[in-house]
Amino acid sequence: MDKMVEFKAFVKGKPELISYVRSGEMSWQKFYEIYDLYGDQPEVWSSYQKSVSQENKEKVATSFGLGEFLGWLKTMDLDSVQNGINSMQRVLGVLQDFGNKDNIEKPEYTPRPLYKHFED
């Protein structure tokens, strides 16, 4: 069990290994087997070590920043957006009209007298 404690301490010093496990490229068992065979030799672990700054750069590159949002806003055709909003307003108005027809007052039904037949 002493080797397992050493491995846990080694992993705490190499947080970039977590990304390999989360992505499914490697498992903790495989990493432990490599550690068991080679120890903490830098030549073995150099292929698995990404610098933390590289990961941060990748996250920043994939995130949608304010500058990109403003650029996207400049390329947007505002007339087509306005036309879309107007058509949605018309659809909502029609749907509201259908909903309001239930609230229209209907004349009260009065049954025809029993002694009257066909417009007598």
Q: Each residue of 77-96: pLDDT tens digit?
A: 888 889 999 999 999 998 88
Is residue 57 pLDDT above 60, yes or no? no
Look at residue 21 and give its three-state secondary structure.
Answer: helix
> ∠ CA(9), CA(10), CA(15), 5° rounding?
100
Residue 19, exposed/middle/buried by CB under 10 A (0-12, 13-18, 19+)? middle
Is residue 43 pLDDT above 70, yes or no? yes
Tokens 């432990």 correspond to 32
* 5: its two tokens: 């404690």
Q: Say if residues 52 and 16 touch (Cβ distance below 8 Å).
A: yes
pTM of the model: 0.42
Q: Report the pLDDT value the prediction gives residue 102, as an integer from 0 to 100.
A: 61
| Among 60, 57, 59, 38, CA closest to 48 | 38
The more confidently predicted of residues 2 and 87 is 87
Tokens 């977590």 correspond to 18
Virtual CA dihedral for 73, 75, 79, 83, nearest 10 degrees? -70
